[in-house]
Amino acid sequence: MRTSIVRIGNSQGIRIPKVILEQCQLGPDVELEVENRKLIIRSASQPRQGWEEKFQSMASAEDDTLLDGELVNQTTWDENEWQW
C-alpha cells in the first residue's frame, strides 16, 4: 500500500488505514525505530507488564524472600546512625 507524507503543524506524518492498524494490533501508543533506513512501528511495551503473575509464581515457589534480610537484621546502623 502506498501513502503520502502529510504536514501536521510543524511536523509530518502518515495516515495508517484502520485495516492495517487492526492487522498489526497497534494500540494508542507506539514505539518508533529506524533500522537500516527503514522505519519500524510497533506497539509500545508496557513497563512492569506481567509482574503480578511473576510475583505470584515466586510466592508459590517460596522464592520471594529478601536477599539481604539477614544483613539488615545484623546491623544497628539504621537505628543509631541514620538521620532523617
Q: What is the mean pLDDT of residues 14-25?
A: 91
> From the centroid of its chain, how far is CA 2?
31
Most confident of 21-30, 46-55, 75-84: 21-30
- 22: which 3 cell numbers? 487492526
DSSP alpha helices (H): ranges in 1-84?
Answer: 18-24, 51-60, 69-73, 77-80
pTM: 0.50
Kindly report, residue by residue over 45-69, the tens digit of the pLDDT. Answer: 777 888 899 989 988 998 887 776 5
CATH no., domain 6-43 = 2.10.260
Q: Higher model confidence: residue 36 or residue 78? A: 36
Contact 58, 64 (CB under 8 A): yes
Q: How far is residue 40's CA from residue 21's CA, in Å, rounded to a whole number?
A: 14
